[in-house]
Amino acid sequence: MSVTALWWAVIVSGIYHGVNPGMGWPLAVSAALMERKTSALPGALFALAGGHFLAMTAILLPFSMMAALVMWEAEIRIGAGLIVIALGVYLLINRRHPRFLARVPPSRLALWSFLAAMAHGAGLMLVPIYLGLCAPETLDAGHRAASDLMTANIWTAFWVAAVHTAAMTLAGGALAAGMYFWLGLKFLSRTWFNLDVVWALSLIVVGGIGIFTAGH
């Protein structure tokens, strides 16, 4: 896969996470209405984005270390793909939502967003794409020091998390603003679709692509 296609995958996955009400954008509408001030809307989106970004980096950074082990590149990518597929299969079988998320107070949106992203494997979904982006760096790895490589991979991890989170926040923010300013709350129950199965299948597909491209 080309680098451009991979970056588009980062953006598209961000939009995909962002439009899902389960990832939190209705909470931004709620915040603005509850506090009776429009500025609370971007404030809440910012908190949600912060939590999501942290969850992405928490997952990607360990892989950035591993990606520096050049000689194991294919094995790491296959292993990561298998983990992502396994989570997808698990979420397909176990449709129950984690109860601990309901213990987070509504005032702590960033924490909630972090935990929700972790619990649903939002970060893992990015791993195969991320490892694909790291791969071109390894082609001339023989000529570069491992520390250089790791630094480059860490920066890539941050960029992937940032671009993904920005896409997510813009998509969710657009829906939140649309509902807040024009469409009204009726829009919420009409446009909320159960994505549980689609989500689990996406994990399996992304993991599968990761494994498939690892060998090529």
Nearest approach, Cβ of residue 205 and other proteins (Å): 20
The count of chain residues that interact with other proteins, using the rule CB under 8 A, is 33
Nearer to other proteins (CB atom), residue 108 or residue 155: 108
Nearer to other proteins (CB atom), residue 128 or residue 172: 172
Nearest approach, Cβ of residue 96 and other proteins (Å): 7
Q: What six digits make up the tokens of 124?
A: 């893992």
Q: What six digits make up the tokens of 36?
A: 């009776």
Work out the end-to-end distance of the chain between its first and last CA atoms, rounded to an integer number of angstroms: 9
Contact track, other proteins, 129-168, x by CB under 8 A: ----------------------------------------
Cα 18 to its chain centre, rounded Å, is: 9
Positions 23 through 82 that interact with other proteins (CB under 8 A): 23-24, 26-27, 29-30, 33-34, 36
Per CB under 8 A, does 21 bind other proteins? Answer: yes
CA distance 41 to 34: 10
Nearest approach, Cβ of residue 91 and other proteins (Å): 13
Nearest approach, Cβ of residue 183 and other proteins (Å): 11
Among 152, 163, 166, 188, binds other proteins (CB under 8 A): 188
Nearest approach, Cβ of residue 64 and other proteins (Å): 30
Among 1, 7, 12, 22, binds other proteins (CB under 8 A): 22
Among 11, 70, 104, 163, binds other proteins (CB under 8 A): 104
Per CB under 8 A, does 16 bind other proteins? Answer: no
Q: Is there a contact between 18 and 167 (Cβ–Cβ < 8 Å)? A: yes
Q: Is there a contact between 160 and 126 (Cβ–Cβ < 8 Å)? A: yes
Among 16, 53, 63, 112, binds other proteins (CB under 8 A): 112
Per CB under 8 A, does 186 bind other proteins? Answer: yes
Print the SS3 string covering the chain: CCHHHHHHHHHHHHHHHHHCHHHCHHHHHHHHHHHCCCCHHHHHHHHHHHHHHHHHHHHHHHHHHHCCCHHHHHHHHHHHHHHHHHHHHHHHHCCCCCHHHHHCCCCCHHHHHHHHHHHCCCCHHHHHHHHHHHHHHHHCHHHCCHHHHHHHHHHHHHHHHHHHHHHHHHHHHHHHHHHHHHHCCHHHHHHCCCCHHHHHHHHHHHHHHHHHHHCC
Interface with other proteins by CB under 8 A: which residues? 21-24, 26-27, 29-30, 33-34, 36, 95-99, 101-107, 112, 116, 185-186, 188-189, 192-194, 196
